Chain A
Amino acid sequence: EVQLVESGGGLVKPGGSLRLSCAASGFTFSSYSMNWVRQAPGKGLEWVSSISSSSSYIYYADSVKGRFTISRDNAKNSLYLQMNSLRAEDTAVYYCARQIGSYFDPWGQGTLVTVSS
């Protein structure tokens, strides 16, 4: 079964840092681009970042550029999101998702990040 499991969310103060992880199983992780998508409470989906299979191509939403860093470890079947200089508006559930062409499937269950003092 193809599965993605996020971890690392929690409560952090404004200006703080957090590292999210996404563990993949059930497919050849190293063959796919991976993405992070977030959803603020009561809001819609917002694409955050994408990384190609070999990490050659990396893209970010303007809202996180310069603060967030996406990375992956194909040997560990894992995707990461290092989040620095966190702001209240970064509060959201963060989902990792496998990218196939221009669509995302599957999605993980999400991990909640709360930025508050």
Chain B
Amino acid sequence: QSVLTQPPSVSAAPGQKVTISCSGSSSNIGNNYVSWYQQLPGTAPKLLIYDNNKRPSGIPDRFSGSKSGTSATLGITGLQTGDEADYYCGTWDSSLSVGVFGGGTKLTVL
């Protein structure tokens, strides 16, 4: 049981938009920045979004992040087959002094 809650799977057609939610509590998302990671099959996780809504260099602006209260959302527009991957949200839990992740969301581009 992960500390942060994500939907197990989402799907959409190529070119469409999808959003992935991440729900937490006041001790984690509510009081810390949220990050998002993309894990392509058989590879290590890769940073996609940091500090709620910032993109590292090299990450296209099709990927966006937002946070409101104790929830965060990852948005992906102009879906491509290459976006098929597992996506994880993560943050720090200040009260437990531990890192926390969501259970992951598998994106299928139909």
Contacts and interface: CB of A to CB of B under 8 A. Distances in A.
A45 B34 CA distance: 15
B98 A61 contact: yes
A64 B73 CA distance: 30
A35 B91 CA distance: 13
A105 B101 contact: no
A47 B99 contact: yes
Contacts of A50: 99
Contacts of B18: none
Q: Chain B contact residues: over half helix, strand or loop, or mixed?
A: strand
A107 B90 CA distance: 14
A104 B100 CA distance: 11
Interface residues of B, number: 26
A59 interface: yes
Nearest to A103: B35
Nearest to B44: A107
23 contacts: A37-B99, A37-B101, A44-B86, A44-B88, A44-B102, A44-B103, A45-B45, A47-B90, A47-B98, A47-B100, A47-B101, A95-B44, A95-B45, A100-B50, A101-B33, A101-B51, A102-B33, A102-B34, A102-B92, A103-B90, A104-B45, A104-B47, A107-B46
Interface of A: 35, 37, 44-47, 50, 59-61, 95, 100-110
